[in-house]
Structures are given as C-alpha cells and as structure tokens.
Structure 1
Amino acid sequence: MNAPDKIAEEKGQEGGTKRFQAKRDAILAAAADAINEQSAKGMTFADVARRVGLNTTSVTYYFKRKEDLAAAAFEQTLDKLREMLTDAMREPTPEARVARYLTINFERLAAIQRGEEKALAILSDLRAMDGDLKRELLAGWRDVFRMTRNLWGSDGSRAETDLRGARAHVLLENTFWLTAWMPRYEIDEYPRVLARLIQVFTHGIAAPGAQWEPHLLDLEHDEPEPGREAFLLAATRLINELGYRGASVQKIASELNVTKGSFYHHLDAKDELVIACYKRSFDIIADAQKLAEERGGSHWQRLENTIATLLDVQFSERGPLLRTTALSGLPPRERSTMIDRSNRIARRYAGMLSDGIAEGSIRAIDPLVASQAMMAMQNAAFDMRKWASTMPREKAVAFYASTLAYGLFDDRVLTL
C-alpha cells in the first residue's frame, strides 16, 4: 500500500472511530437521562433507543446487555468526578480545593441548563447493580470518596480521618443534591448561589461562640397498626440500599421473614409502599422540627436539637429515613406530591434559620441555600452508618453535624 492510500485508510478509520464514539456517547447520555428519571432497573433498551432515534438492535451493537449500558453510564459519572477532583487538588489549601470543586460543579450545571452539556447518571442507583459490575463500580466509588477526603489532606490522626470522611460525604452529597433545587434559580444567579453555598461550607451556620450541646428529642409514638412500623422500616432500608426497583416485594418480605401475602396485608401496591415509607420519614422529620420548636431555646439550639435527633435516627436501628433517590421510581403525580412535602420541610428549616439570623444565634447566611445543604446532609446520613458504628454514637453525630454547624474547616469538634 502506498503512502497516500495508507493515509486515506487511516483517515477513514479515524472517521469511523469518531462516528462510533459519537454514537456511543449519545447512547450513554440517553441512558443517563433514563436512569435519572426511571432508575437503572427501570431503564430499557427501547426507551434509550427512542431517545437517540435508533432501533433497539442498534443499541445492542454498542452494549450487549442493559446492565452493561447502566454500568458504563455510572462509570462515566465516576470518571467525571475523578476529573473534577483532580482539578480541585491542584489548589494549595483545603478551602481553595473545596471552592474549586464546587465551582466546577456549578459551571457544569449551568452548561447543562443551557443545553451545552448532557447530564450524568446519578449514582444513587449504583448499589442496585449485581455481581462483578457492582463490585467494580463500588470500587470506583470508594476511589472517588478517598479523593474527596484527601481535599483536606491525607495524613493526621484517626479522629482527623473520621472527620474528613464526614466532610467528604457531605460535600459529595451536596453536589449531587444541586440538581434537585438549583433549577429554581435563573442561570445568571448561579454565581451568587455558589458564593452563598461556599460561605455556608466555610463558616457554618452557627454564630461565633455557639456550642454543640444538643438535646435529643423523644420521637417515640404509638403504632396505629401493629407491625406496620417494622414493615416500613425494613422496606426503607432495602429501598435505600437497592433503589426503588431493586427492592422487590419478595426481598422486602424475606427481610422480615414473612410471605408476600403479608406485604399486601399492609399495602395494596409497591407504589403505595414507597409513598408510605416517605410519609413515615417526612413525619419523623416534621415531628423533630415541631418538638424542637416546642422545647424552645435559641433558634440555634432548636436547629442543633433537630439535626442531632435526626442524625441519631439515621445511625440507629430505628432508622433510617427514606432517601429522596427513590422518587425516580414513582409515577409523576405521586412524585410531585412527595417533592412538595420535601420542599415544605426545607422551607421550615429556612424559617428557623431566618429567625436565628434575626436573633443573632445563626450567622448571616442565605437561609434558602443553607436549608438545602441541611436537607442533603440529613438525607444522605444513612450511607454513613458503617462509619458511625466505629465510634460512640454521640461522637459520630457531632462529627457529621459539624460539617454544617461550624463548616468544613473548623476542627473544634475534635475536642468534644
């Protein structure tokens, strides 16, 4: 083959490779949208094919199994997180690294809103994967977690490592939670919201001199139906771990060592189960907020009592609260109802923060932004149960809560 022919062939191969990659990227973007709307288990080849204007057979040319497609979408998200964290690590201090990481996230979110970039698959459904794919993806997630923790440094005592773990988790969960509430803002407001969120993470919400001395609230109440609470608790744990579609009726019944018929004794359908689990969780949060208000004290004391009580629930056997990630499995009408309830809880937090700012027990922060940071912290604490079990519960609650109480760079909690 002469040189011109060889060059022409290589150009043809390069063009083919580019076309292949472009089509593959389009399929992954469509899969990410489907996962975010319907969960990984709910995603279908037919739906993904429809989103990119292909037939199902064409999609299977790129990905043989639905599980392979979901895994590739998750791996793409993990790769992007590694890329962002590597960028952030170039900054000289923990404060600058966290600010850079948040800035990259906001810039990407704005680009998605403008239609310049595609959304990535949310990782909440990752645990619903099976076998080797799940093991590989969880290994990738642990790598991302360690990279995030290292934003604060990689040396230090065991207590410092524990505290950095809490900070890493809250930071990551807050960046994932942005997609839930940032669309309420105009894109030109994103820089201001970013600055206000960085302010919360840098200085915390408690006014200078405020101490961490929470009083755990009594959330005990009588069961209206014997056995229902245990049933909903088991379902909540499985849904949090496996996602809405991953937690089958059979698995929930097996967890309680009862028959599937027992499930339908309590509830008529699986959607009704998720709604009941959400209602239980939202009722617990609302009860904690009301009890804190009734107990009185400064608004900082009311907030710390609420936060500590709910984190204690998340880390205890009577927990957890249902994660908002299960919303993707619900029909649109039911999902909208649950989101409205979540927003009411966030607004109540914002009201408590506003009153505390006026009183002087809370820093002068943006209460709407801070309330969403609190929702993310509270919602995701379930994932830190294993971490919390390695230390006294009171210490685990204090370490985790300090991330927003005093910010991500204040070490006073190490002396508690």
Structure 2
Amino acid sequence: MAPRGAAARSTDRFERKREAILDAATRILNRKGVKGLTLSDAAAAVDLSTTSVTYYFKRKDDLAAACIIRGVEALHDMAEQALAPATPSDRLHRLLTLYFERMRQTVAEDAAPLPVISDMRALSSPRREEASTAYGKLFRKVRQIFDTPDLAWMSRGRRTARTRMLLEQLFWAQTWLPKYDPEDYSRVRDRMHDILVHGVAAPGDTWTPQPIPMEELAAREGPELARETFLLAATRLINKRGYRGASVDKISAELNVTKGSFYHHNEAKDDLVVACFERTFEVMRRAQRLAMELPGNQWERLCACAAALAEFQLSEHGPLLRTSALTALPEQMRRQMVEHANRVSDRFASMISDGIAEGSIRPVDPVIAAQMLNATLNACADLGALVPDVRPKAAPAVFAKPMMMGVFLH
C-alpha cells in the first residue's frame, strides 16, 4: 500500500496536469470555438500524447465542457464576492473590479483565460445541459445584485432582462478589451460602471423614442426578400442550436428546400454564417441611417435606433445573429466579422460623440458606450426566451432603456 504522502502527491500531480490541459484547451477554444477544438491540439500544447489527454477527458466535448464550466464557476465566485456590498451600484462595481482584475491577470499570464461562455450551445448532450445548469446558477447569482428593498418595484422579468444585459457586457468586453493596455483596465471599468448606473442620458432627457417601422429595416421584395427568408431561418437555428446544431439538413428542412438548393446559394456552411452576419450588420446600419434622418437631437435619434433594433429582435423579421456564432468561424473570417461589428459600434460612437457636443447626451466615453450599446442590442435576441410574455413593442423599454437611462432606474 502506497504511503499517504505519496498518494497526496499523485493527486496533486493529476490536478496540476488536468489544470494545465484545461488552460491550454481554453486558449484553443477561445480562438477556434468548440468546433475547432481537438484533443490532439490540446495534447500538443502541453507536450502530451493524445492518448494521455484521454486519461483526463475521454472526448472533445468532455474537455470543452470542462473548460466552459470552470470558467462559469470562476464567474460565479466573482458574483458571490460582489454581493458583499450593501447597494446595487457598489455590488456592480465590485463585480466589474473582480472581472477586470482577472482580465489583467490573464494578460500577465498570472491566471488562466476565461472561456467564451456563449459557445456552450455548440456542445452536444449531455455536456450542453451540464454547462447550461452551471450557467443558470451563475445567472441567478448575478441577478441578486438587484435584490434590495429600493428595487422592489422591479419585476422578476425586468431583473432577468437586466441581468442578461450585464452578463453580455462582460462577455463582449473580451472582444474589444484587447484594444486597451492592462494598466488602463481600471479606467475602462469605471467608465463602464458609470454608463451602466447612469446611462448616457443628459439631465432632463426622457425615453420617448420616435418609431422606425420594422418594414423599413427588413428586406423589401424580389430576390432580396427570398434570400432574407433563407438567412432568417438559418439565423434562428444558429442562435438556438449553435453552429453545430444548425446543420444543412435542418436549415433545408426549415425552408422546405433540398440540400442542393442550399449549396446553390452557399458554397459552404461557413459562408452561410458570414452571410447571416452581413445581414445582421446591414440591418443595424440601416437602423442607424434611418435614425440619423429623423428630426430632433442626437439623444432622440440614438433612442430611436436602439428602440427599433430591440423591437426588430423580437419581431417577425428578427432576430439578428448572436455574436456567439463568431467562434464557429475560421480565424480570418472571424476577424473580418469583428471588424464589421466594430464599424457598427464606431457609428454609434459618432452619434454619441455628436450628442455630447450638442449637450443632448451626457459626457461619457463614446467608444466604450458604443460597444456596450452594441452588446445590449445583440443580447436582446435572447429576451423572448428569458421573458416569454414580453411583446416586441415592449422590448425597447425592457431591454434598451436600461442601457440608455441606467440599469437601476425605473
């Protein structure tokens, strides 16, 4: 029988090696998504054979799920610590502080990277359900930020919607935060906290968005309309089931067309994802253009644009493609789509900057505010699942207004 000390050392070695595999696999997962992760790549990253890695993780999905669940649990620990302060604002600031410190440690290689959580939809059963259970626990913990007597007026549905928006800010920040030096992360944190608590509204501003007809955002007629129908069906399946779950067979069945017809319009599935993203960005650009043509000041135009896109997400013309699909694309394609997303954000930044100059929007960091608005509108695609009884016309007030006016305001 082995001495107890030897058994403990063996367990320690096992855990260290397992953590090293998870660290390496998470970096691959963040670059290539669940679709691109392989056991052999993870093994090579830690100088092991693939057979040795299977001693820890039998299948690729076991490894991917372990990466995602470990990341979700790390975020849960942050949320647990963030609930110590008494006020919602201080709790939110604590959560952002812990998150950005983890981002700084990751850049300095003092901590393992956090995984792209949204890619859990690409897992297969039962790993997807296990990851979803862990995420649900995280979600409920973050929602406790709103649990104070002062916010008793806020319905469960509104707390749920605002929690989803807060989490999306963290997830999307992983995409744009690398533009900043780690020494500036504390400044970014403070700007984000300021925007989340106070919105971008100047004193005296009200949430009374001018309407933009949904038909103005959707494709018109003819070949454009036929392609829109095809891309919308694909978008809905990809958002619901992930890249792997939205197979060519399922997309074709949804539209009652043959696989041959699918490949007539799309050379490969990656091309279809790109086309869905391009449709998404075009709808957002169209909303921005229509809003900028409206009478009034920049605050009123920005509200109109945000409200129209939030409503579009839940309308018969929606949703837009979730950014979670980015991880399914090859790296070069993904960079191109992120550049498209950044151009949409840059236009929001221009609208915000012009509003600050004219006094209709309060002084905020327009670049950070624009990325946060982009993230909010993207996450609105989930609102129907989170708050099933919400109607498209109510979506702007439930989801976009908190970003514009402040998450703790009525």
Instruction: Give the TM-score category using the shorter length.
Output: over 0.9
> What is the CA–CA distance in structure 2 between the aligned matches of 1:243 and 1:220, rounded to whole Å?
24
Q: Which runs of 5+ in 2 are unaligned?
A: none
* Contact 1:31–1:43 (Cα < 8 Å) also in 2: yes
Greater mean deviation of Cα atoms: 299-308 or 264-273? 264-273
Match of 1:126 among 115, 120, 131: 120
Aligned to 1:335: 334
RMSD: 1.8
Match of 2:189 among 178, 194, 217: 194
- 1:154, distance to aligned residue in structure 2 (A): 7.0
> What is the CA–CA distance in structure 1 between the aligned matches of 2:40 and 2:240, rounded to whole Å?
27
Alpha carbons of 1:367 and 1:192: their partners in 2 closer, same or farther (altered >3 Å)? same
- 1:395, distance to aligned residue in structure 2 (A): 2.7
Greater mean deviation of Cα atoms: 198-207 or 237-246? 237-246
- 1:158, distance to aligned residue in structure 2 (A): 8.1
> What is the CA–CA distance in structure 1 between the aligned matches of 2:169 and 2:48, rounded to whole Å?
35
Aligned to 2:393: 394
> What is the CA–CA distance in structure 2 between the aligned matches of 1:63 and 1:282, rounded to whole Å?
39
Aligned to 2:319: 320
* Contact 2:320–2:381 (Cα < 8 Å) also in 1: yes
* Contact 2:201–2:361 (Cα < 8 Å) also in 1: yes
* Contact 1:206–1:362 (Cα < 8 Å) also in 2: yes
Alpha carbons of 1:159 and 1:262: their partners in 2 closer, same or farther (altered >3 Å)? farther
Alpha carbons of 1:194 and 1:157: their partners in 2 closer, same or farther (altered >3 Å)? closer
- 1:215, distance to aligned residue in structure 2 (A): 2.3
Match of 1:100 among 87, 94, 97: 94
Aligned to 2:60: 66
Match of 1:86 among 77, 80, 85: 80
Matches within 5 A, 1:219-234: 219-223=217-221, 225=223, 226-234=225-233
Match of 1:208 among 203, 209, 217: 203
Q: Which runs of 5+ in 1 are unaligned?
A: 412-416
Q: Percent identity?
A: 44
Aligned to 2:360: 361
Provide the TM-score with structure 2 as the length reference: 0.94
> What is the CA–CA distance in structure 2 between the aligned matches of 1:370 and 1:21, rounded to whole Å?
41
> What is the CA–CA distance in structure 1 between the aligned matches of 2:360 and 2:153, rounded to whole Å?
32
Deviations 1:212-250 (A, max 9, x none): 111232324424525211110111112222333332212
Deviations 1:57-82 (A, max 9, x none): 00000011222112211210121111
> What is the CA–CA distance in structure 1 between the aligned matches of 2:282 and 2:44, rounded to whole Å?
40
Q: Work out whether 1:181 is the aligned partner of 2:183.
A: no
Q: Work out whether 1:41 is the aligned partner of 2:35.
A: yes
> What is the CA–CA distance in structure 1 between the aligned matches of 2:338 and 2:124, rounded to whole Å?
29
Residue 55 of structure 1 aligns with an amino acid whose one-letter code is S
* Contact 2:210–2:304 (Cα < 8 Å) also in 1: yes
Deviations 1:267-311 (A, max 9, x none): 121121111111111000000000101113110111011101111
Deviations 1:147-197 (A, max 9, x none): 111111077768522221121111101011111111101111111111111
Provide the TM-score with structure 1 as the length reference: 0.93
SS for the counterpart of 1:41 is helix
